[in-house]
Amino acid sequence: MAEIIPFKGILYNPHKVDTSSVMAPPYDIVTSELKDTLYGRSPYNIIRIDFGKEMRGDTDKENRYTRASRFLSDWLKNKVLLKDTKPSFYCYEITYRIADKKKKIKGIIGAVRIEELNKGKIHPHEMTYSKPKTDRLNILRYCMANTSPIFSLYSSKDRLTSCILRETTKGRASIKAIDGDGFIHKLWRIRGERTIETIKKELSAQHIFIADGHHRYETALEFRNEMYKKGILKTGKEPFNYVMMFLTNMEDNGLTLFPTHRLVKMRKGINIEKLLKPYFDITPEDPQGTTESKMFSIMKKGRNILGMYLKNKKAFYVLKFKDSYSEINSHESLKRLNVTILHKFILERLLRVDKIEYEMNPELAIEKVNKAVYHAVFFLNPTRIEDVKNVALAGERMPPKSTYFYPKLLTGMAIYKF
């Protein structure tokens, strides 16, 4: 069963800092320009610890990881950061807007016992790359802390924890921060013994699905194994046996999922329409007959419908898959997903593309294709939350960037130090 426990979190001291100025988005969406902006907002912005700058003259003894460790120690010493005296769960709520509609997502932050993926109750759903994991591992080695929670999901129709969170948010928050989009992030401590036991009991029975933070989870697992090899394991309850996680109930409907579109560069002389036609109904026959808005409108009406923009024709197309699932060499939980049809069938098998770039903004994707070396954009519908659950439970993984969970958690709302 899954094990989640309260911990003595480290929170920013609102009497010392403007909490909105010291938080940061997750490291994997921080560009170099945004990093400069975050550095300028406050000398105590968490980016200095979580994803600091490399400096000219850096060495093995002086680099962004040693600086991260030093910042964490100094900020604790100077009470910019305060460590709680009692173990707590933390209620984290984000109030945000999507398509002019106000929404809220609530979840619990706790320390979850690390286990081998797909061998217990914790399940991934996406493939990962090695480079980000190396960077995250160095942060753990030098700082001995989780600076941002892994975004995870569970499904409980009993909603015991959901009810606790709803009551908790009626009180005054310990931390409040407003992000660059104007979304409001709040954090409350949960300390009552009965309440803590109720949360632990409900979540212990759940499967946990990693939504955002696969690299961080796999890194935490690798770090724990490093500690084992060093002989540091004594009781099995050492803090490095756990990882900080945000868990939200799928049944609460607070989540939003966005697609990430694919920009591709193809081999010379390729006739994309000819290759696709045996397997897809391609409309319109007249490439000038479909606008971007019309394409997306048609895509929303069915599951296995993709969009396409071709640079050489400056035209949009709708691709309706002809249900040739036997042609796709993937697990049953994967082969009927748009992202699998695109990656495994179109990009890998039919087109054998040379290069892929990922972009969420359709207009920006089209602009990049028109200006750069890419030849086409393939557009996707959002992956359904049920599909994430089914793929994870089957022990399979979707291609990278198959899901974009929204809104993003802020780094720095709580820190879990070993």
SS3 content of the chain, % helix, strand, coil (to 5): 35, 25, 40
Question: pLDDT-derived band of residue 12, with 50, 70 and 90 as boundaries?
Answer: very high
In this structure, are residues 415 and 293 in contact, taking their beta carbons and an 8 Å threshold? no
Question: pLDDT-derived band of residue 288, with 50, 70 and 90 as boundaries?
Answer: low
Tell which residue, 160, 169, 243, 250, has the closest CA to residue 201: 160
**Lowest mean pLDDT, pick from 89-93, 131-135, 154-158, 193-197:** 131-135
More confident residue, 220 or 355: 220
- Within 10 angstroms of residue 50's Cβ, the number of other Cβ atoms is 26
Domain spans, the chain: 4-256+406-417, 260-381
Question: pLDDT-derived band of residue 273, with 50, 70 and 90 as boundaries?
Answer: confident
Q: Please state the rounded mean pLDDT for residues 162-185.
A: 97
In this structure, are residues 125 and 117 in contact, taking their beta carbons and an 8 Å threshold? no
For residue 357, what pLDDT is reported? 93
Tell which residue, 83, 84, 88, has the closest CA to residue 73: 83
Q: Please state the rounded mean pLDDT for residues 227-235.
A: 84
Q: Give residues with Cβ within 8 angstroms of 22, minimum separation 6.
A: 12, 41, 42, 44, 45, 46, 177, 412
How high is the mean pLDDT of the chain? 93
Residue 130 has pLDDT above 90, yes or no: no
**Lowest mean pLDDT, pick from 74-78, 83-87, 279-283:** 279-283
Distance (Å, rounded) from C-alpha 400 to C-alpha 135?
18
Residue 240 has pLDDT above 90, yes or no: yes
Q: Please state the rounded mean pLDDT for residues 257-269.
A: 91
Residue 28 has pLDDT above 70, yes or no: yes
Residue 410 burial (10 A CB sphere; 0-12, 13-18, 19+): buried
Q: Please state the rounded mean pLDDT for residues 257-270.
A: 90
Q: pLDDT over 70 for what percent of the chain?
A: 98
Q: Please state the rounded mean pLDDT for residues 69-87.
A: 98
Q: Please state the rounded mean pLDDT for residues 222-227.
A: 94
For residue 66, what pLDDT is reported? 98
Question: pLDDT-derived band of residue 287, with 50, 70 and 90 as boundaries?
Answer: low
389: which 2 tokens?
Answer: 């659950």
With tokens 């009626």, the residue in question is: 170
For residue 285, what pLDDT is reported? 59
Question: pLDDT-derived band of residue 286, with 50, 70 and 90 as boundaries?
Answer: low
Q: How far is CA 180 from CA 20, 80, 407, in A?
A: 9, 22, 12
Tell which residue, 348, 384, 378, has the closest CA to residue 365: 378
**Lowest mean pLDDT, pick from 75-84, 187-196, 313-322:** 313-322
More confident residue, 163 or 254: 163
Residue 364 has pLDDT above 80, yes or no: yes
299: which 2 tokens?
Answer: 């895509």
Residue 283 has pLDDT above 90, yes or no: no
This prediction's pTM: 0.91
Residue 188 has pLDDT above 90, yes or no: yes
For residue 131, what pLDDT is reported? 62
Residue 129 has pLDDT above 80, yes or no: no
Phi, psi of 329, deg, nearest 5: -90, 75
For residue 19, what pLDDT is reported? 98
